[in-house]
Structure 1
Amino acid sequence: MMKIRNIYLLMPVFCLIGCSDFLEESSQDEVRPAMVSDLEQILLGDGYRDGHNFFYMSEIFTDNQKSVEPLSNVEDEYEQKKWRFLWDAKMFDDDGGGYNGECWEIPYKGILGCNLVLEYLDDMKGEDYIRESLRGEALILRSWYYFHLVNFFGIAYNQGNPATDLGVPLKLDPTVTGQFFTRNTVEEVYLQIERDLLHGIRLLSENKYDRNFFRINHLAAKAILSRVYLYMENWDKALAYADSVLMEKSNLLDLNDGGRVYHTSSTPDEIIWAREYNSGYEVSFQPRLSPPFIASDDLVGIYTDNVDLRQKIYLYYDGSITRGYAGVNKGYYDYAAIQGIRTAELYLNRAEVYSRKYLAGGQDEFRVKALADLNELRKYRINKSKYIEVNLTDGQELLDFCLLERRRELCGETCHRWCDVRRLGVTVTHLLYDSSIEYQQDMGHYVLPIPKLITEQNPALEQNQ
């Protein structure tokens, strides 16, 4: 920690973060990092931001959660989070749901850590191949944060005009400028994400450095890029990068054999990248702490009872107090809050592209390929004694089934449903447990409000309307 604290002497606070006490003063004569390995430790700590989970919290904005009467122990949580559940503009403000920096401040702090590493790598002593590998890792991790930021606060790429729609500010170095940062466009942010990913993939591919799956590698970067292109509706590139990953790693965990997809200590079959994030994870294994917003009936209902194994394995059932499915849990107790990237996503990315190509052009080869990917995934998810291959001929039915399978498989992970309801233009309906008033939101053009604390400290930021 001494090394991390000292190197912060070299960097400013981003005006866009809005945290005046983020940096602490230290003596100028303390030891500063000198080795590439010192920056590696900063990347692992301040780059990866363990302990903060802005991934699962986005479920509350979607059709994957519903409101239930809060138990006495979680009444305060209900009062805070109902503002998010109703998409209220004051959800992150003190006069509303209360300040929460998970969606804005935490990603930018991760970016700050990545920028710091990128800025000073060339000044450190060490092996060149490790230096370049860490550079690639930092670039990819930075792109990951910007990808989530622009999808939190900017209109979905395919739903508006990315050339003019406001995204988030781009800050690509840790130097002091004294300026307030304005918001770049959605297109500008996506282009930077693409550049970082392509550069990072090249560096990681050319400079081999042993990593376990708790750190981003070249396969994770290609998987992220496949998702980015999918959201941009660049179907050919989304397909190409999904292919590239699956040619190297195509494993799927057979749920018939037990285990969970993120129980990393014993069933790492399909994990490409995974990190454990406890903060923001709402599924409790203690009945008295069962959350006030749980898995929706709509989500639970898309699994066929006693056929689709994911219903009982992915969704945690709190039967002791008859509250139903408390939420998504894809790891065991020791790895309950894991988030990351799995091979299953690449099968679904590829199947969606093939389905769309079949719907657009009618070539049967795309239908066959889409079904092959969907059935390959499902045979590892459906009770073997009841498994039947899907065979659809109508293009729209095939695409609809593919998107439903995506929801079944990826619920609760790395903002998948949040991004999907937005890019697909889904209208979501929410109802508080004690009210008959329905609240509806067209997610196609919905964006999160920037916390008031942030806009007050950076008046150059234009608030979302």
Structure 2
Amino acid sequence: MKIRKIYLLMSVLWLTGCSDFLEESSQDEVRPAMISDLEQILLGDGYHDNHNFFYMTEIFTDNVKSVEPLVYVQDEYERNKWRYLWDSKMFDDDGGGYYNGCWEIPYKGILGCNLVLDYLDDMKGEDLVRESLRGEALVLRSWYYFHLINFFGVAYNQGNPETDLGVPLKLDATVTGQFFTRNTVKEVYARIEQDLLRGNKLLSTNRYDRNFFRIDHLAAKAILSRVYLYMEDWDKALAYADSVLMVKSNLLDLNDGGRVYNTSSTPDEIIWVREYSEGFSISFQPRLSPPFILSENLIDIYTDNVDFRKSLFLYYNSTITRGYPGISKGSSDYGKMQGIRTAELYLNRAESYVRKYLAGGQDEFRLKALADLNKLRKYRLNKSKYAEVDLTDGQELLDFCLTERRRELCGETSHRWCDVRRLGVMVTHLLYDSSIEYEQNMEYYALPIPKVITEQNPSLVQNQ
């Protein structure tokens, strides 16, 4: 077997439908010998360290505002204003310019996972490792599809998932000349759920040592909780949150300082973490403010001198008068770490309890929601000024829970983007030099597929 042929295959952007990249017959020659060979492919090409799309969606949300660009970041302003205004040409050469993070990169990650899944059964090695790696690849593939469907499909709880268009499902690494069509939102979610459930079972029953830079059974359960939350299956969302928190319930106490994504000294609440490279760009020489920074709409939901998240999650640049440019939750100065934390599971469970309280009126669910919210806040607020909340009105409690979710999860793995869509939030954006307010009802909003992708694959129906 020549392992380089695996990497040749990895370079193929198979979803374009162009068959001349690689002859299909060469598939028979791609034969790694050991499970460890496939593990390296998953680590190198499945996880994609150098390409990360988690931060890309912030600019579409109410977490961001436009400010006058300094001359040094004028190009960045011209490129990103198309996204800020939700323009249909945001990813096209005659608009904001092609960006590969929302479509191409996730599908390349899926291709890496498919390669592993295709060849695992032919590999020599320990069965426990084989099945654990199978579970890891299934969950990681689901993670990519979960983001893709929330980029390009209408939110599951909005519209009609049985007919709304999602993204194409490609479940093997075979290269053909086929033009792939878009599966429905329901079909994609069903596949995500199926693979997560199987992956969770495999990872739970075939355990071997992994660090938190790789997906394990807790990460699989945490993703299931998020998926079911978006599907409004409250019982399953809280059940999978429970299953994580019963094993790992730690929260970092911000009274002691530190970062929630500190991977070196205080990984108290990290379940899974990866580096990211796309965010509110800041030039390091000199340190300049970017043209799109955090909005007062976000900043003002934190209580001054009480909520440590305001000073530890959000950061100033060197010119304080320009406000907060970004979000920092990692161990480096610019927080280039994202993933899944126990804090999200408390919030998933709390929201599920509140929804059940609103539906049935059982006070036990209200009390359980408050217990989760108060526990999280105890680790986030100044202890000398901390006071528990006790809300009896269901709608007030839900509003408080969703605001707490925004405070805690801003800037991470597209949480706010997904939340404004599933909650049907109306987002208003105003360019710094314009008097025209641009509004977008996120309830049915989905990103446009880049034109370079639809030109290469004419079977893909564009979002309107």
- Measured against the shorter chain, the TM-score band is over 0.9
State the match for 2:203 in structure 1: 204
Matches within 5 A, 1:139-288: 139-280=138-279, 282=281, 288=287
Q: Write the deviation string for residues 230-250 of structure 1: whole angstroms up to 9, x where unpaired.
A: 000011100110000000000
State the match for 1:289 in structure 2: 288
CA contact (8 A) 1:114 1:139 kept: yes
SS in 2 for 1:177: coil
Deviates more, 1:81-90 or 1:9-18: 9-18
Deviates more, 1:183-192 or 1:329-338: 329-338
State the match for 2:459 in structure 1: 460
The residue type equivalent to 2:124 in the other structure is K
SS in 1 for 2:116: helix
State the match for 1:298 in structure 2: 297
CA contact (8 A) 2:156 2:185 kept: yes
CA contact (8 A) 1:18 1:454 kept: no
- For 1:142 and 1:365, the matched residues in 2 are separated by 37
The residue type equivalent to 2:344 in the other structure is E
SS in 1 for 2:324: strand
State the match for 1:307 in structure 2: 306
Query: How much has 1:322 moved relative to structure 2?
Result: 2.1
CA contact (8 A) 1:429 1:439 kept: yes
CA contact (8 A) 1:351 1:374 kept: yes
The residue type equivalent to 2:165 in the other structure is L
Deviates more, 1:311-320 or 1:5-14: 5-14
- For 1:286 and 1:257, the matched residues in 2 are separated by 31
- For 1:227 and 1:204, the matched residues in 2 are separated by 18
State the match for 1:124 in structure 2: 123
Root-mean-square deviation (Å): 2.2
Deviates more, 1:342-351 or 1:319-328: 319-328
- For 1:4 and 1:436, the matched residues in 2 are separated by 58
- For 2:240 and 2:334, the matched residues in 1 are separated by 28
Query: How much has 1:260 moved relative to structure 2?
Result: 0.5
1:340 aligns with 2:300: no
- For 2:48 and 2:230, the matched residues in 1 are separated by 25
State the match for 2:134 in structure 1: 135
Query: How much has 1:288 moved relative to structure 2?
Result: 3.4
SS in 1 for 2:214: coil
Query: How much has 1:318 moved relative to structure 2?
Result: 1.7
Deviates more, 1:5-14 or 1:333-342: 5-14
Q: Write the deviation string for residues 364-414 of structure 1: whole angstroms up to 9, x where unpaired.
A: 111100000000000000011110001100000000000000000000000
- For 1:22 and 1:56, the matched residues in 2 are separated by 31
Q: In the superposition, relative to structure 1, how do residues 270 and 333 fare at CA in structure 2: closer, same or farther (>3 Å)?
A: same
Query: How much has 1:178 moved relative to structure 2?
Result: 1.8
CA contact (8 A) 1:17 1:105 kept: no
CA contact (8 A) 1:73 1:288 kept: no
Query: How much has 1:456 moved relative to structure 2?
Result: 0.1
CA contact (8 A) 1:17 1:104 kept: no
- For 2:333 and 2:442, the matched residues in 1 are separated by 34
Query: How much has 1:177 moved relative to structure 2?
Result: 3.1
Q: Write the deviation string for residues 190-240 of structure 1: whole angstroms up to 9, x where unpaired.
A: 000001100100111111110000000000000000000000001110011
Q: In the superposition, relative to structure 1, how do residues 375 and 5 fare at CA in structure 2: closer, same or farther (>3 Å)?
A: same
Query: How much has 1:13 moved relative to structure 2?
Result: 3.7
- For 1:286 and 1:232, the matched residues in 2 are separated by 45
The residue type equivalent to 2:458 in the other structure is P
Q: Give the gaps of 5 or more residues in structure 1.
A: none
| Identity value in percent | 81
Q: In the superposition, relative to structure 1, how do residues 409 and 430 fare at CA in structure 2: closer, same or farther (>3 Å)?
A: same
- For 2:28 and 2:192, the matched residues in 1 are separated by 37
SS in 2 for 1:385: coil
The residue type equivalent to 2:170 in the other structure is K
Matches within 5 A, 1:3-82: 5-8=4-7, 13=12, 15-17=14-16, 33-82=32-81
Q: TM-score, with normalisation over the residues of structure 1?
A: 0.95
- For 2:255 and 2:286, the matched residues in 1 are separated by 28
Q: Give the gaps of 5 or more residues in structure 2.
A: none
Query: How much has 1:334 moved relative to structure 2?
Result: 6.3
SS in 2 for 1:102: coil
Q: In the superposition, relative to structure 1, how do residues 28 and 395 fare at CA in structure 2: closer, same or farther (>3 Å)?
A: closer
CA contact (8 A) 1:287 1:320 kept: no
- For 2:18 and 2:384, the matched residues in 1 are separated by 56
SS in 1 for 2:315: strand
- For 1:21 and 1:292, the matched residues in 2 are separated by 41
Q: TM-score, with normalisation over the residues of structure 2?
A: 0.95
